[in-house]
A and B are shown apart, each in its own frame.
Chain A
Amino acid sequence: MDLVLLIEQLLNGLQFGVMLFLMAAGLTLIFGVMGLINLAHGSLYMVGAFAAAAVASATGSFTLALIASLAAAAIAGVIVEMVVIRRLYDRDHLDQVLATFALILIFSEGTRWVFGSFPLYLDVPSALSGAVDLPFGISYPAYRLAIIGIGFVVAFGLFLLITRTRIGMRIRAGESDREMIAALGVNIAVLYTAVFALGAALAGFAGALVGAIQSVQVGMGEPVLILAFVTIVIGGIGSIRGAFVGALLVGLTDTMGRVLLPVLFGAFMNPSAATSIGSALASMSIYILMAAILLFKPTGLYGSA
């Protein structure tokens, strides 16, 4: 394994992590502010991807498709929050899990009803197709570089939003003491809807970005949802910074594990046993990471007890 390949794989891990962050940020915000476990977050990711695919095929513009994904997921988020989620804040987590699981089924069948059962077509914009040459002879897909860039911009934007603006202040206040900010005259219902819409929009945006290089199909959100949960548990539930660090850790561990573990076992085993043991261990690597981190930091890296 040479250095160029290794750097390329690091970039891959980074890109995967940045993608996870977009999902995990919404999830952790919603949990941190409202104390709600939202299993339907993956469905909002799917809504974003489908909206982008539909708009891209109608208009041919990827920019419009991205805007549509943000809008569609945010609107879906607002509707879901007002109709269903609002009734769940005071219930215990089991009720929330049940209700949001039902939402997954409703979203999946609803999407199939509207778009059919076959995967949709959504492609990378032509300006970003193909690979670009980086220093040291690395050639890397332009679109993935763009995703890394967008992810860092979004992360920075979220950071500014939460630490520097009034709404960010309210979100932080909501995290630490719900009753108190309601008593101070902040309209908590509107704040909750806004936070939910923001989380939904981020998930939808991630869905559209990833949809261009993956398959836009019913049920695409659930595998990502599991990884997003792992991410926020590692990072500490409710912490945006934790979600960011956790996402990068998960992305890098998963990618490097997939690449390096089979090679590592290959050093002292026959090739076919090494591939199967290596790839089996690689799929466990992020869960091992999670277990190890929880052993030393039971509330996650940035979690408050």
Chain B
Amino acid sequence: MKLKSFMLAACAAAMTTGAAQADGLKVGMITTLSGGGAGLGIDVRDGFMLAVKQSGRSDIELVVEDDQRKPDVAVQLADKLVQSEKVDVLTGIIWSNLAMAVVPSVTAQGKFYLSPNAGPSALAGKGCHPNYFNVSWQNDAFNEAAGAWATENGVEKVFLLAPNYPAGKDMIAGFKRFYDGEVSNEVYTKLGQTDYAAEIAQIRADDADMLYYFLPGGMGISFMKQYAGSGADKPVMGPAFSFDQGILGAIGEAALGVKNTSHWSKDLDVPGNAEFVASFTEEFGRLPSLYAAQGFDTGLLLASAMEKADVSDADAFRAALKEADFQSVRGDFKFAPNHHPIHTIYMREVVKEGDVVTNKVIGVAAEDHTDAYGVDCKM
């Protein structure tokens, strides 16, 4: 019985492989569609699907799965997508810890992985892989640019705040790498903390010129609302994750005037960006976030590579991806030798446009920025 069903499964698998390899390409998307971080995954998915739709290609088959922000679920889904769905390309993961759990095994099995978000340093340095392409950023990028901007604009003393987990410490380390001034205090909070009264009191009593913080998702919303209500008046800066479109709606006017670094903004004057913002808004009825822009770029990259090579010829397809021959909505985009982006990071400010609280570009924070880990990448 067991043997029989095994053979049946093998036959079925052989049949589907035959069908999939003939032409076209199958994409497996593992992303977060439920739980606290679902907004990010939904934006990546929608941006990606919009790019696929606009490319006019009918030969891209997309399988979307929800990882629930759990590494173990993501690993199971990756196994399923690779072994039974026989996908050629994987994408979609939002969180660094999930990426670390999935990407190395997937690329080792010869599949391509395009990261639409999350760029853990391990995958940019020693753990880089020819089949891994990061279309978003290396985790430190926004922070390094912010540090450079603070140095250039004469910020002398800064107060640093982040959650006590690896990404939080990486972000702060990234800021300090390019910041020459003094650090008055460095505070690490519990991951998922929602009340910041104690930290805010410390910040108010501190003599720093500026507060720099990284608190993703709900933590950032809570912090900013409490900070604005506390009567504290230090200027605030952070990476864009804490001040993105999906989050600004919940913070409201408390975020006005906050500076944040990002590789993309909806008002960026780049060919195709205005069209992207307009078509995304029309299709989904909300403003795109930077995650949507990253999903869109990932879709564009995939379509551009498919124009040049068939995925069954892995070397040619890899070379085609490497060329990055597409117009990114963030402007110039190239892959560094470690397959991470070389791109410009902008400084944005939170402003009010009519009734909508949103971001406006106020300058360049780092031109043609690339990550610090590429030197360790041997491939």
**Chain A hits for B188, CB < 8 A:** 275-276, 279
A–B Cβ pairs within 8 angstroms, 19 of them: A9-B198, A13-B198, A108-B34, A119-B247, A123-B252, A131-B231, A141-B197, A141-B229, A141-B231, A214-B221, A215-B225, A215-B250, A216-B250, A217-B36, A218-B35, A224-B194, A276-B188, A279-B188, A280-B164
Contact yes or no, B35 A219, CB < 8 A? yes
Contact B197 A121 (CB under 8 A): no
Chain A residue with the shortest CB-CB distance to B253: A123
Docked complex Cα distance between A260 and B199 (Å): 11
B190 contacts A121, CB within 8 Å? no
Q: A217-B36, A279-B164 are in contact. Are A12 and B198 (CB under 8 A)?
A: yes
In the complex, the answer to whether A272 meets B186 with C-beta atoms within 8 Å is yes
Q: Of residues 172 to 231 in A, which have CB atoms within 8 Å of B's CB atoms?
A: 210, 212-220, 223-224
| Smallest beta-carbon distance A122→chain B, Å | 8
Chain B 18-39 interface 0/1 with A at a Cβ cutoff of 8 Å (1 = within)? 0000000000000000111011
Q: Give the docked Cα–Cα distance between A119 and B36 (Å).
A: 9
Verify if A262 is at the interface (C-beta below 8 Å from B): yes
Partner of B194, one of A8, A220, A271, A279: A220
Instruction: Please give, as numbers and ranges, the residues of chain A lying within 8 Å of B39 by CB-CB distance.
Output: 117-119
In the complex, the answer to whether B186 meets A108 with C-beta atoms within 8 Å is no
What CA separation (Å) do A60 and B255 show in the bound complex? Answer: 20
Which A residues lie within 8 Å of B202 (CB)? 5, 259
User: In the bound complex, how far is the Cα of B202 from the Cα of A203, in angstroms?
Assistant: 30
Q: Is B304 in contact with chain A by the CB < 8 A criterion?
A: no
A170 located at the interface, meaning its Cβ lies under 8 Å from any Cβ of chain B in the complex: no
Cβ of A21 within 8 Å of any chain B Cβ, yes or no, is: no
Query: Which residues from 99 to 120 on chain A have a C-beta closer than 8 Å to any C-beta of chain B?
Result: 108-109, 112, 117-120
The answer to whether B190 touches A131, judged by C-beta atoms less than 8 angstroms apart, is no
* Contact A112 B38, beta carbon cutoff 8 Å: yes
Interface residues of A in 244-262 (CB under 8 A from B): 255, 258-259, 262
The majority secondary structure among interface residues of chain B is helix
The answer, yes or no, to whether A41 is at the interface (CB within 8 Å) is no
B residues 217-267 near A (Cβ < 8 Å) are 217-219, 221-222, 225-226, 229-231, 246-247, 249-252, 254
Given A16-B195, A275-B187, A275-B188, the answer on whether A121 and B249 have CB atoms closer than 8 Å is yes
Closest to B32 in A: A117
Taking a contact as CB atoms under 8 Å apart, the answer to whether B225 and A214 are in contact is yes
Bound CA span A19–B195, Å:
11
A241 within 8 A of B: no
How far, in angstroms, from A124 to B195 measured CA to CA in the complex? 15
Whether A279 and B190, one on each chain, are in contact in the complex, defined by CB atoms closer than 8 angstroms, is yes
Least Cβ–Cβ distance between B109 and chain A, in angstroms? 31
Nearest residue in B to A128 (C-beta to C-beta)?
B229
A9, A117, A121: most-surrounded residue (chain B CB, <10 A): A117
Known A-B contacts: A16-B195, A217-B217, A218-B38. Give 8 more (CB < 8 A). A117-B38, A119-B247, A141-B229, A141-B230, A213-B226, A215-B194, A215-B250, A220-B194
Interface string of A80-91 (1 = CB under 8 A from B): 000000000000
Question: Does A223 contact B194, Cβ atoms closer than 8 Å?
Answer: yes
Is the CB–CB distance between B34 and A130 below 8 Å? Answer: no
A276 to B165, CA, bound (A): 10
Q: Interface of A with B (CB < 8 Å)?
A: 2, 5, 8-9, 12-13, 15-16, 19, 108-109, 112, 117-121, 123-124, 129-131, 139, 141, 143-144, 210, 212-220, 223-224, 255, 258-259, 262, 271-272, 275-276, 279-280, 282-283
CA distance A224 to B164 in the complex (A): 19
Q: Please measure, in the bound complex, the distance between the C-alpha atom of A213 and the C-alpha atom of B42, giving whole angstroms.
A: 26
Which residues does chain B contribute within 8 Å of A262, judged by CB atoms? 187
- Evaluate contact between B218 and A220: CB separation under 8 angstroms: yes
Which of B35, B201, B226 is close to A8, meaning CB atoms less than 8 Å apart? Answer: B201
Nearest residue, chain B, Cβ from A138: B201
* B229/A119 in contact, CB under 8 A: no
Residues of A within 8 A of B226 (CB): 141, 213-214
Whether the Cβ atoms of B230 and A131 lie closer than 8 Å is: yes
Residues of B within 8 A of A212 (CB): 225
Contact yes or no, A129 B218, CB < 8 A = no
For B36, B217, B246, B251, the residue with the greatest tally of chain A CB atoms inside 10 Å of its CB is B36
B363 CB–A CB distance under 8 Å = no
Contact of A258 among B199, B217, B246, B250 (CB under 8 A): B199
Interface centre among A129, A217, A262 (most CB of B within 10 A): A217
A273 to chain B, nearest CB (A): 11
The CA-CA distance from A19 to B197 in the complex, in Å, is: 13
Known contacts A131-B230, A262-B187, A283-B190: A219-B36 contact under CB 8 Å: yes
Question: Given contacts A112-B34, A219-B36, are A16 and B187 in contact (CB under 8 A)?
Answer: no
* Cα A8 to Cα B201 with chains together (Å): 7
Most buried by B among A16, A210, A218, A258: A258
A279 CA / B225 CA spacing, docked (Å) = 23
Residue numbers in B under 8 Å from A220 (CB-CB): 194, 218
- State A131–B201 Cα separation when bound (angstroms): 12
